[in-house]
Structure 1
């Protein structure tokens, strides 16, 4: 990777980290969520949103991997 690309990637990561930190600092109101009878304790709004972001970052690629494997397997078996 060239130096310019590396600097751009580092600046982008720092910018995103700064945005996340600003979001967390601005959303410190305590709330509790309830869904289908399950409830949570009071936590800041930012914890729920960042938790949903992390869960999506983990689950999204997992689903993509599973779908890609299923497609490749059907191509190798002669199905389309």
Structure 2
């Protein structure tokens, strides 16, 4: 069973790598992005899209963790206020 899981995982990783490689090879047109007057160097579209994906994958969990911590802080403050009100 353990070997089957490894084989499925390896197949999934190889399939994902093939899809990414196909995407990169199909999107070689260059594009130059301009944001607030700052112009980035011209790079292939695939680089821009993959960079946005990686940035999103990094920022998303950080924002989620911040939201969880903020929610826990609110719950603790509410519990503290309720405990003070009961006394």
Q: TM-score scaled by structure 1?
A: 0.85
Cα separation, 1, equivalents of 2:69 and 2:57: 19
Question: What residue number does 1:6 align with?
Answer: 6
When the two chains are superposed, the root-mean-square deviation of aligned CA atoms in Å is 1.7
Question: Does 67-76 or 14-23 show the bigger shift?
Answer: 67-76
Q: How far does residue 76 in structure 1 lie from its aligned partner after superposition?
A: 2.7
Matches within 5 A, 1:2-41: 2-41=2-41
Question: What residue number does 2:58 align with?
Answer: 58
Cα separation, 1, equivalents of 2:72 and 2:5: 33
Question: Cα deviation per residue 1:18-58 (whole Å; 9 max; x = unaligned)?
Answer: 10111011111111111221111111111100100110010
Question: What residue number does 1:46 align with?
Answer: 46
Paired residues, number? 79
Question: What residue number does 1:67 align with?
Answer: 67
Q: How far does residue 68 in structure 1 lie from its aligned partner after superposition?
A: 1.1
